[in-house]
Amino acid sequence: MEQNNIEQRLEDHGLYLSEKLGQHFLIDNEVIKLIADRVSIGAKVIEVGSGIGHVTEALSKQASSVIGIEIDKKFWPVLQDIQDSDPKIKFIFKDALQVSFDSLVKRNVETQIIANLPFHIVEPFFYKLIDLPITNAILMTGVRTAEELQMNENNMGYGKMALLCQTFFDIKVIKDVHKHS
């Protein structure tokens, strides 16, 4: 979806972004495609932070189903239109930290989690992922968070979050994404 179409979708529904919730929309089509191309064909995808659903729609092209989790109910009208037009997509309106991922992720079902996380939920979100039988998670974080997650114990900035993530996950940076993206 082109940036103009995203802006138009927001305008058509009288929507705005909430800085309090750390809302930012990914508008770079190359980055959206890069993420969508990492969806395994036929996998179940859980997307955190669906916003207006433009990334959700891209994810659904290869997924068997997409469950979008969105905290902000003001996006319901646009997401309902998407849900009504694509039977593979369902939305849950709830804080992702309050969602029982155990009820969404089943053993022996290839499941991927995709999220653009605001800084204030990165650490608690990783705790939610630790015991889930997921295939992988593609998480967009800020540059500092990504750097921190990769630090080794000899680095002055090495801390609890790096220890947690490196203990339970294989962390890789796929791409640096410019803030204007």
pTM for the full predicted model: 0.89
Give domain limits for the chain: 28-140, 143-171
Cα–chain center distance at 180 = 18
Give the whole-angstrom CA distance, residue 91 versus residue 59.
Answer: 14
Helix axes 143-150, 160-168, angle to 10 degrees: 70
Where does 24-86 have alpha helices with state H? 29-37, 54-60, 76-85
Angle (nearest 5°) at CA 114 between 19 and 153: 85
Cα Rg of the chain, angstroms? 16
Give the pLDDT of residue 104.
Answer: 96
Give the pLDDT of residue 3.
Answer: 59
Give the whole-angstrom CA distance, residue 5 versus residue 11.
Answer: 10
Give the whole-angstrom CA distance, residue 127 versus residue 152.
Answer: 20
Q: Which residues of the chain have pLDDT under 50?
A: none
CATH numeric code, 28-140: 3.40.50.150
| Cβ contact 52:25 at 8 Å | yes
Give the pLDDT of residue 88.
Answer: 97
Express each pLDDT in 37-67 by its tens digit. 999 999 999 999 999 999 999 999 999 999 9
Q: Provide the 10 A C-beta neighbour count for residue 52.
A: 24
Give the pLDDT of residue 22.
Answer: 66
Candidates 2, 11, 96, 13; CA nearest to 54 is 2
